[in-house]
A and B are shown apart, each in its own frame.
Chain A
Amino acid sequence: KAGVTQTPRYLIKTRGQQVTLSCSPISGHRSVSWYQQTPGQGLQFLFEYFSETQRNKGNFPGRFSGRQFSNSRSEMNVSTLELGDSALYLCASSLGFSTGVEGYTFGSGTRLTVV
């Protein structure tokens, strides 16, 4: 079956702009989680959506937001981009009914560079 699809794979933006990243989960999965990975901070949890509702949120400023559509696809948006937002953004999908970690499948990520 198809895996988790993240688009685009690479993105270059200018400071102050905004960006939208997309994640299509595995068919049948209703939960999508987002992570930011940087060399300095490692992998950090952003938020999780299930059935179009945000169920959990990490410690990131309000410039980072997300949403989930009825088909479980999710988007995350970063407004007023800063140089420090340059990172690999990963999403993970799961069934969502159990939080057993083995159910999380990660995509290959979107590499965002802010210049």
Chain B
Amino acid sequence: DAKTTQPPSMDCAEGRAANLPCNHSTISGNEYVYWYRQIHSQGPQYIIHGLKNNETNEMASLIITEDRKSSTLILPHATLRDTAVYYCIVRVEAGGTSYGKLTFGQGTILTVHP
């Protein structure tokens, strides 16, 4: 699975958009970009994933650059409850050695302040 690079920490004001970047310059054509977050003392929570098109769901939007070497997770109106560690993960969706395995990096600690 391709490695990812994320800033260690970011701040965001409540009600503003939080834009979390992720670099994955070695991504392969069949690898997806996934985002998870982990709120303190809880298990990771799936947010969104995409291959090459931008994606949006009720939680966030995912913007993937045309060359797919980087992406941005956007939380449109951050709240205090969005304070968490955000993980960007790149992996193939198929089986084999990927079964059950997510390779987590250090992630970005997002702090949303009043």
Give residues in A with beta carbon < 8 Å to B: 4, 31-33, 35, 42-45, 47-50, 55-56, 58, 90, 92, 94, 96, 98-102, 104-109
Complex contact B99–A45 (CB within 8 A): no
Surface stretch bound by A, among B5-13, B21-29, B102-110: B102-110
A89 to B29, CA, bound (A): 33
Closest to A90 in B: B43
Q: Tell me the minimal C-beta distance from B3 to chain A in angstroms.
A: 13
B41, B42, B46, B104: the one within 8 Å of A43 (CB): B104
Q: Could you list some 22 contacts between A and B, CB below 8 A?
A: A31-B99, A33-B100, A35-B102, A42-B104, A43-B87, A43-B104, A45-B101, A55-B100, A58-B101, A90-B44, A96-B99, A99-B95, A100-B93, A101-B32, A101-B36, A101-B46, A101-B89, A101-B93, A104-B102, A106-B44, A107-B43, A109-B41
Complex contact B43–A4 (CB within 8 A): yes
Give residues in B with beta carbon < 8 Å to A: 32, 34, 36, 41-46, 49, 87, 89, 91, 93-95, 97-107
Closest to B45 in A: A106
Complex contact B102–A45 (CB within 8 A): yes
The total number of A-B Cβ pairs within 8 Å is 78
A102 to B51, CA, bound (A): 13
A11 to B114, CA, bound (A): 36
A100 to B45, CA, bound (A): 14
Q: Tell me the minimal C-beta distance from A37 to chain B in angstroms.
A: 9
A65 to B37, CA, bound (A): 27
Complex contact B43–A50 (CB within 8 A): no
B42, B43, B93, B106: the one within 8 Å of A99 (CB): B93
Complex contact A47–B100 (CB within 8 A): yes
Q: Tell me the minimal C-beta distance from A59 to chain B in angstroms.
A: 11
Q: Given the complex, which residues of A lie within 8 Å of B98, measured CB to CB?
A: 56, 99
Q: Given the complex, which residues of A lie within 8 Å of B34, measured CB to CB?
A: 101-102
